[in-house]
Chain A
Amino acid sequence: MDQLISQVILGLVSGALLVLLALGLNLILGLLEFINFSHGALYMVGAYLTSYLIVATGSIWWALLLVPIIMGLFGAGLERTLIRPIYRRHLVDGLLLTFGLSYVIIEGMRMIAGSGGRRVPAPAVLDFQVPLGVGRPVPAYLLFVVVVVGAVVAGLWLFLQRTNVGLIVRAGIRDHVMIRALGVRFDRYRTLVFALGVAVAGLAGVLTGPITGVYPEMGAEILVLAFVVVVVGGMGSFWGAVLAGLLIGVLVSLTTLFASVYAGIVPFVLMILVMAFRPRGLLGTT
Chain B
Amino acid sequence: MSDVTTDTSTGDGSTGRAPVTAVRAGTAVPERWKWGQLLLLAGLAVIVMFTVPNPSLAIGILIYGLWSSGLNLLLGYGGMVSFGHALPFAWGGYAAGLMLLHVTTSAWAALAVATVSMAVLSVGVGAVCLRRTEIYFSILTLAFAQLGFFIALQWRSVTGGDDGLAGIPVSTLWLPGVTLRLNALGDPLLFFLFTAAVVIVVLAGLILYTESPMGRVLQAIRENEERARGCGYNTRVVQLVTFVIAGAVAGLAGGLFAMLNSFVGLQPYWLLGGIVLIMAILGGRGSLFGPFLGAVTYLLLESVLSRHFASWQLIVGAIFVICVLTFPQGLWGLLTSTAPWRLLRRVRGSR
Contacts and interface: CB of A to CB of B under 8 A. Distances in A.
Interface of A: 29, 33-35, 37, 82, 85-93, 95-97, 99-101, 103-104, 107-108, 110-111, 175-177, 180, 224, 227-228, 230-231, 235, 261-262, 264-265, 268-269, 271-272, 275-276, 279
B325 A104 contact: no
B321 A89 contact: no
Contact of B143 (A87, A100, A228, A235): A228
A99 B81 CA distance: 11
A86 B279 CA distance: 20
B133 to A, nearest CB: 9
B22 A276 contact: no
24 contacts: A35-B138, A86-B324, A90-B23, A91-B135, A99-B83, A100-B278, A100-B317, A103-B278, A103-B317, A104-B314, A104-B317, A104-B321, A107-B311, A107-B317, A108-B311, A111-B311, A177-B14, A177-B16, A224-B146, A230-B139, A231-B139, A262-B154, A275-B140, A279-B131
Given A107-B311, A177-B13, A279-B131, A264 B325 contact: no
8 nearest interchain CB pairs? A103-B317, A264-B150, A107-B314, A268-B147, A90-B22, A104-B317, A111-B311, A100-B321
Nearest to B312: A107
Contact of B318 (A85, A104, A177, A227): A104
Contacts of B139: 35, 227-228, 230-231
Interface string B13-46: 1111110111100000000000000000000000
Contacts of A96: 81, 277, 281, 324
B313 interface: yes
A95 B138 contact: yes
B144 interface: yes
B128 A235 contact: no
A100 B324 contact: yes
Given A228-B143, A231-B140, A275-B140, A93 B128 contact: no
Contacts of B132: 235, 275, 279
A175 B15 CA distance: 7
Given A96-B281, A100-B324, A279-B132, A224 B318 contact: no
Given A100-B278, A275-B132, A275-B140, 18 more contacts: A85-B325, A86-B324, A89-B328, A93-B324, A97-B324, A100-B324, A103-B313, A103-B316, A103-B317, A104-B314, A108-B311, A110-B311, A224-B146, A231-B136, A231-B140, A268-B150, A271-B140, A279-B132
A101 B144 CA distance: 22
Nearest to B139: A227
Contacts of B121: none
Contact of B128 (A34, A103, A230, A272): A272
Nearest to B148: A268
Given A88-B17, A92-B75, A95-B81, A111 B325 contact: no
Nearest to A273: B128
Contacts of B313: 103, 107
Contacts of B136: 231, 235
B163 interface: no
Interface string B306-324: 0000110110111011011
Interface in B114-142: 128, 131-132, 134-136, 138-140, 142
Contact of A91 (B17, B147, B154, B316): B17
B11 interface: no
Contacts of B79: 90, 92
Contacts of B128: 272, 275-276
Given A95-B138, A99-B277, A107-B313, A176 B16 contact: yes
B274 interface: yes
B190 interface: no
Contacts of B277: 96, 99
Nearest to B325: A85
A162 to B, nearest CB: 26
A244 to B, nearest CB: 13
A239 B14 CA distance: 25
B140 A90 contact: no
B328 A93 contact: yes
B325 A265 contact: no
B274 A92 contact: no
Nearest to B321: A100
Nearest to B135: A35
A141 to B, nearest CB: 29
Contacts of B154: 261-262, 264-265
B60 to A, nearest CB: 21
Contacts of B13: 177
B143 A271 contact: yes
A175 B146 contact: no
Given A88-B18, A224-B142, A235-B136, A97 B325 contact: yes
Contacts of B325: 82, 85-86, 97
A108 B318 CA distance: 10
A33 B16 CA distance: 11
Contacts of A228: 139, 143
A235 to B, nearest CB: 7
Contacts of A264: 150, 153-154
B151 interface: yes
Contacts of A97: 321, 324-325
A227 B144 CA distance: 12
Contacts of B131: 275, 279
